Amino acid sequence: MPRYRIDLEYDGRPFHGWQRQKNALTVQEIIENALEKIVQMRVQTFVCGRTDAGVHALQQVVHFDLEKELTPFRLCEALNYHVKPYPISILCSAIVDSNFNARFDAIQRQYRYIISTRYAPPTYRKGLIWHIKYPLNIQKMQEAAHYLLGQHDFTTFRAIQCQAKSPIRTIDFINIQQCEDEVHIHIGARSFLHHQVRSITGTLVHVGRGQWSAERVKFALFAKDRKECGAVAPSDGLYLEKVFY
């Protein structure tokens, strides 16, 4: 029974996230339905990052086993055919070691959060960015982000409903860049807590707008108290960008 890995991209706007739900459209359901059409039986998929409703993926990684062996190229073509007309694209596919696990083997996940700071409303980027209308002080944000690097208890920056056993995570890097009228927050870690990137982003924006000092982020982190989180950024601007194994 060969194990397959597929890498996919999707526009999160029409979906209630990755994970299958009873009464809502999800990416997992579309992928598993497409697989069922191809191999004529139910296939269970395992994902690298269970993105939330509205969150996008530039590289999402999924693994599953098929009873029938298909060439990766044919699988890719067949999947892209069957996921139409949804904004999901299978970028590549491979037969991998039967121990490969898309979720547990990832050694780094990178997310990108895109904020538009221009005054005018978005048009073709609507739902693909967080539009905040005001300029941000990138230097202050980077200074605040520095406190979050390395291993910490991120209780302040995770959702109340987060199911992870431990609130401890290690952030490898946070790079903040002004790209014309957008601010990009690029962040990497082996794994993230539920709403961690959006909680960090929302809080850093408080600093960028001058409502918080950079130091306050340090106190918020050390408080280990969800109530000390600045804000949770909306899903619109969040992209799972890259996964390393």
Shortest Å, Cβ 169 to its own copies: 28
- Give the interface segment with its own copies, choosing from 114-122, 140-148, 187-195, 205-213 (CB under 8 A): 114-122
In the complex, minimum distance from the CB of residue 233 to its own copies, in angstroms, rounded to a whole number: 18
180 three-state secondary structure:
coil
Closest CA to 55 of 101, 109, 106, 108: 109
Reading the block at residue 62, the tokens are 């999924």
User: Is residue 52 annotated as a catalytic residue, yes or no?
Assistant: yes
Q: Which residues, 6 or more positions from 197, have their beta carbon under 8 angstroms from its beta carbon?
A: 111, 113, 187, 238
- Using the contact rule CB under 8 A, the part of the chain among 16-24, 119-127, 155-163, 207-215 near its own copies is 119-127
Question: In whole angstroms, what is the distance from residue 194 CA to residue 146 CA?
Answer: 21
Catalytic residue among 7, 11, 52, 65: 52
Q: Is 120 among the residues that bind its own copies (CB under 8 A)?
A: yes
Among 68, 71, 121, 146, binds its own copies (CB under 8 A): 121
- Residue 124 in the binding site for its own copies (CB under 8 A): yes
Of the residues 3, 56, 82, 169, which one makes contact with its own copies according to CB under 8 A: 56
Q: What residues are paired with 10 via a beta bridge?
A: 57, 88
Q: What is the DSSP string of 54-120?
A: T-EEEEEEEEEE-SS---HHHHHHHHHHHHTTSSEEEEEEEEE-TT--TTTT-SEEEEEEEEE--SS
Q: Which is nearer to its own copies, 110 or 156 (CB)?
A: 110
- Name which of 39 and 128 has its Cβ closer to its own copies: 128
Contact stretch for its own copies (CB under 8 A) within 16-24, 121-129, 138-146, 213-221: 121-129
- Indicate the length of the chain as a whole number: 245
- Total H helices, total E strands in the chain: 5, 10
User: Catalytic amino acids?
Assistant: 52
Residues that bind its own copies (CB under 8 A): 9-11, 13, 56, 76, 80, 84, 87-92, 118, 120-124, 126, 128
